Amino acid sequence: MDPILNIAGLTMDFGGIRALDHLDLRVQQGEIVALIGPNGAGKTTFFNCLTGIYTPTSGDLLLTPPGQNTRRLNGLKPNKVTRQGLARTFQNIRLFPNMTVLENVMIGRHCRSRAKVLGAIFRNRKTVQEEKEIVALSLSILEKIGLADMHAEFAKNLPYGAQRRLEIARALATEPLILLLDEPAAGMNPQETLELDELITVIRDDGLSILLIEHDMKLVMSLSDHIFVMDYGKKIAEGNPEEIRNNPEVIKAYLGEDIDDA
């Protein structure tokens, strides 16, 4: 079976800096795949290329939704990439702090709603119906994420870990095939990280594929079906958690950090 995501020879230059250097990476449907590597390795740049924020210098970004034809994502604008089924969270939280938890999730959903500007202004019956459906769907996602009780709170009033979960809820509201998480555990305490581990497992069990950038090795080793390791824009290793833990190249790249403790 074709992988749901197939990245081939992806290269991204910023002036003289080659941030991604012929990167190859695959995600199979339903897998949790981790992308790890030291600071500055190019992980976020990879997400930015994949989601249309940057146009890659060369290479292919290929998406094959189950049972459908392969499509090339190169050059699509971010909103088009979202419609193709990729949703992401950001390394730094990007919520609307003065909107409610529910509204933050509804914004994710609007990328798929059909009501156009005129409908929104005149609020015809179709628009009102659609809005009701968006509220219902957003509440059901908040239920799953464990934030339904807080739906009327301003986003800025949530504890840090809950804000990170809310970002995941907003991404889920776009009904993605693949969820891209950029360091979701950053800044979380051990309890919040444990809850995140459970949440990501639940999302995968719902049938999504997940691509996870993360520095927390314990989380990476516990969740991942497959791990890619990058350094200086290049893939230096790939394999299952056991293989990665024992790979000399990886140990060298992480010199000074305790990958063994995970």
Ligand X SMILES: Nc1ncnc2c1ncn2[C@@H]1O[C@H](COP(=O)(O)OP(=O)(O)OP(=O)(O)O)[C@@H](O)[C@H]1O
44 near Mg ion, rule: CB under 5 A: yes
- Least distance in angstroms from the C-beta of 167 to ligand X: 16
Provide the β-strand partners of residue 231.
234
Binds ligand X (CB under 6 A): choice among 44, 74, 113, 201:
44
Residue 33 binds: one of Mg ion, ligand X, none (C-beta under 5 to 8 A by kind): none
Stretch that binds ligand X, among 33-41, 102-110, 160-168, 204-212 (CB under 6 A): 33-41
215 near Mg ion, rule: CB under 5 A: no
Residue 45 binds: one of Mg ion, ligand X, none (C-beta under 5 to 8 A by kind): ligand X
Tokens of 175: 């009904």
Size of the site for Mg ion (CB under 5 A): 3
53 near Mg ion, rule: CB under 5 A: no
Size of the site for ligand X (CB under 6 A): 12
What is the C-alpha to C-alpha distance for residues 200 and 89, in angstroms, rounded to an integer? 13
Stretch that binds ligand X, among 43-51, 129-137, 218-226, 247-255 (CB under 6 A): 43-51
- Least distance in angstroms from the C-beta of 91 to Mg ion: 5
The three state secondary structure string of the chain is CCCCEEEEEEEEEECCEEEEEEEEEEECCCCEEEEECCCCCCHHHHHHHHCCCCCCCEEEEEECCCCCCCEECCCCCHHHHHHHCEEECCCCCCCCCCCEHHHHHHHHHHCCCCCCHHHHHHCCHHHHHHHHHHHHHHHHHHHHHCCHHHCCCEHHHCCHHHHHHHHHHHHHCCCCCEEEEECCCCCCCHHHHHHHHHHHHHHHHCCCEEEEECCCHHHHHHHCCEEEEEECCEEEEEECHHHHHCCHHHHHHCCCCCHHHC
Q: Which is nearer to ligand X, 6 or 91 (CB)?
A: 91
Give, as ranges, the residues between 56 and 115 that touch ligand X (CB under 6 A): 91
Stretch that binds Mg ion, among 27-35, 91-99, 196-204, 248-256 (CB under 5 A): 91-99
What is the C-alpha to C-alpha distance for residues 65 and 57, in angstroms, rounded to an integer? 25
Binds ligand X (CB under 6 A): choice among 34, 41, 63, 142:
41
14 near ligand X, rule: CB under 6 A: yes
What is the C-alpha to C-alpha distance for residues 36 and 260, in angstroms, rounded to an integer? 15
Tokens of 28: 């199979």
- Least distance in angstroms from the C-beta of 22 to ligand X: 15
Stretch that binds Mg ion, among 83-91, 157-165, 194-202, 228-236 (CB under 5 A): 83-91
Residue 222 binds: one of ligand X, Mg ion, none (C-beta under 5 to 8 A by kind): none
Residues that bind Mg ion (CB under 5 A): 43-44, 91
Residues that bind ligand X (CB under 6 A): 14, 17, 19, 37, 39-45, 91
